[in-house]
Amino acid sequence: MTTRSATGRVAVVTGGAAGIGQAFAERLAVDGHAVAVADLGPADETVRLIEKAGGRGFAAHCDVSSPESVRAFAAEVEGEFGQVDVLVNNAGIYPATAFLGMSWAEWQRVLGVNLNSIFLLGQAFVPGMVQRGWGRVISVSSTTFHSGIGLNTHYTASKGGVIGFSRSLAAEVGEHGVTVNTIAPGLVRTATTEKGPQAAWFDALAQLQAIKRTQEPHDLVGAMSFLASDHAAFITGQTLVVDGGWMRA
C-alpha cells in the first residue's frame, strides 16, 4: 500500500476532472487528503492541482452509472490508497428537456448518472467506513428540488432522490461514526453550464438571490470541506443549501 496523506485520510471525488468536482478535489488536497478522482474524461489537470496543493492524487476512468465500471474503479483506488474515508458524489448531468418531449432512454440516463451512481459508490466504499468507525459521504443535490423549475423533471427527480437516499442512509450508519449529508447549489458557472441552455439563466437567477452574482465552483468548497471534517461529526442527514440566498424559505 502506498503512503497516505498527512491526515491519514483518503477522499474520492466523482466527476472531478473539471468544474465543481475539480474545486472539491483541490480543496480536499489542501485539507490534507489524498484524493482519487473518478471521471469519464481525463483528469490530469485535477491531479496536478492536487499535487500542487501538497496532496497525493490519482485519477481513473469511471462510468459512475455502471456497476462494472464502479467496481473496477474501487479496486484501483484500494490498490493505490488502501481505503476511502470521504466519498464526494459530485458527478451529474443536467440536460434541459421538456417532459412531453422526453424519452425513456433520457430519463434512465439522468437517473443512472445522478442517482444510481450514489448507490453504486456507496456500496463500494461505505462498508469500509462502517468497519473502521469513521466516514463521510457528501453528495451534490440541487436547489431545483426546492424550486421545481421546468424542463428538469428527470434532473429534479434525481436530485430529490439524492436527498432522500442520504437521509435514510444517515439513519443506518450514524452509530458507526459515518455521516451522510448533501449540498444543494444553485446554478453554478462551469464550462458545461456556460455552453448549455443554462447560460441564458445566469443573470436572471442572480437577481433572485440575496447575493446578486453568479455562483462559482469555489463558492461550494467551504461547505464541502466542513462536512468532510471532524467538526461536522454531529451533523448528518442534512441538506445544506449553498445558493447565494435564492431559496430562503
Instruction: State the catalytic residues.
Output: 155
* Grid cell for residue 229: 471534517
- The answer to whether the CB of 155 falls within 8 A of the CB of 99 is no
Q: Give the closest residue to 151 by CA, choosing from 113, 95, 109, 110.
A: 95
Alpha helices per DSSP H over 174-234: 191-195, 202-208, 218-227
- CA Rg, the chain, in Å? 17
Handedness of CA 64, 70, 74, 80 (dihedral sign): negative
Tell me whether strands 178-185 and 57-61 are parallel, antiparallel or unpaired: unpaired
How far is residue 145's CA from residue 143's CA, in Å, rounded to a whole number? Answer: 5
Give the type of residue at 98: A
Alpha helices per DSSP H over 82-198: 104-111, 117-132, 144-147, 153-173, 191-195
Task: Say how many CA atoms lie within 13 Å of 39 toward its Cβ.
Answer: 23
